[in-house]
């Protein structure tokens, strides 16, 4: 390994570390990808995680300035094919190696910018735009990695990928509904008044999530095998969250963050590996 390869592997290791520190669910999914997909997906997650941290966490700093700098540094890294920011260096490598559409990156950062000053999503059009930019495009970036330049396969699977990203985001919105309001002053679901959040409202939100989950499953089955089991594991994790949210009262959802236990995650991992080996996924 020469010095530049050492630099690149160190940058990839940073993205992997960020993923594992911030998300056990996605880490478990990436763990079962074929080796060729692991570093690229870690790199995509590291990039989106840091952008999300800017808008959600850095309350004592100028978030707009930080996000603008992050956007500028990202585009510069992609253009120059190098960055001394290890997260951005590993991300630009994926973008350039897999010809990821830069518009997806722009749409993602635009949605992050919406979080800086948008406290409520008053209509479905704005809500859908935010979900597309904050979640669906991330799935599309990953899909460009999985399809490895096969444009026909990418175009065929893109709608399913968008449904899966939307489902993940909506589950997160529902399980974080209380903390989003209390810590960040945000309400994502359009027209939702938390003082009137009841079982009927919860049912309508879950019905929408179930539609997205059901739509995504056909696409997962058509993914290359080396990516399929990891995406299916993430799907099963979020499907379990969907079930737990369905079985939780409104009061519990508002009082605590619904989770899937590590024991359950381990079961889902084993179950996914068996199904994949038998071509049942």
Written as tens digits, the pLDDT of the chain (281 aa) is 799 999 999 999 999 999 999 987 778 788 889 999 999 999 999 999 999 999 999 999 999 999 999 999 999 999 999 999 999 999 999 999 999 999 999 999 999 999 998 677 878 899 999 999 999 999 999 999 999 999 999 999 999 999 999 999 999 999 988 877 777 777 888 877 767 788 998 999 999 999 999 999 999 999 998 999 899 999 999 999 999 999 999 899 888 888 877 777 667 667 676 665 546 55
2: Cα separation from own chain's centroid: 33
Closest Cα to residue 209, out of 249, 256, 248, 243? Answer: 243
Give the span between the Cα atoms of 48 and 45, in whole angstroms.
5
pLDDT for residue 93: 98
Tokens of 223: 């993914």
The domain made up of 3-277 has a fold known as Farnesyl Diphosphate Synthase (1.10.600)
Give the span between the Cα atoms of 121 and 127, in whole angstroms.
5
Residue 10 CB neighbour total at 10 angstroms:
12
pLDDT for residue 241: 93
Burial of 20 (0-12, 13-18, 19+ CB in 10 A): middle
Q: Is the Cα torsion angle 57, 63, 66, 72 positive or negative in sign?
A: positive
Give the span between the Cα atoms of 80 and 248, in whole angstroms.
50
pLDDT for residue 35: 92
pLDDT for residue 16: 95
Q: Where are the domains of the chain?
A: 3-277
pTM above 0.75, yes or no: yes
Tokens of 270: 């084993």
């Amino acid at each position: 390994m020469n010095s530049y390869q050492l630099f690149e592997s160190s940058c990839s290791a940073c993205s992997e570390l960020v993923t594992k520190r911030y998300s056990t669910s996605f880490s478990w999914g990436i763990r079962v990808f074929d080796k060729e997909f692991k570093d690229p997906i870690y790199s995509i997650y590291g990039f989106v995680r840091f952008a999300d941290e800017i808008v959600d966490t850095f309350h004592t700093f100028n978030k707009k300035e930080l996000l603008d700098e992050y956007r500028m540094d990202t585009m510069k890294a992609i253009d120059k094919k190098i960055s001394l920011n290890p997260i951005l260096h590993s991300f630009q490598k994926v973008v350039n190696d897999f010809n990821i559409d830069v518009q997806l990156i722009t749409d993602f950062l635009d949605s992050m910018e919406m979080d800086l000053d948008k406290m409520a999503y008053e209509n479905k059009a704005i809500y859908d735009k935010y979900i597309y930019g904050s979640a669906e495009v991330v799935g599309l970036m990953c899909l460009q990695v999985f399809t490895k330049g096969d444009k026909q396969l990418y175009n065929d699977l893109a709608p399913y990928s968008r449904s899966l990203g939307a489902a993940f985001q909506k589950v997160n919105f529902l399980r974080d509904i209380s903390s989003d309001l209390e810590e960040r002053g945000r309400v994502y679901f359009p027209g939702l008044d938390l003082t009137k959040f009841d079982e009927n409202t919860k049912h309508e939100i879950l019905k929408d999530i179930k539609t997205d989950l059901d739509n995504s499953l056909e696409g997962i089955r058509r993914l290359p095998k080396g990516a399929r089991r990891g995406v299916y594991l993430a799907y099963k994790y979020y499907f379990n969250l969907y079930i737990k949210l369905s079985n939780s009262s409104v009061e519990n959802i508002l009082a605590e963050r619904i989770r899937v236990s590590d024991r359950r995650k381990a079961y889902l991992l084993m179950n996914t590996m068996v199904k994949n080996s038998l071509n049942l996924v």
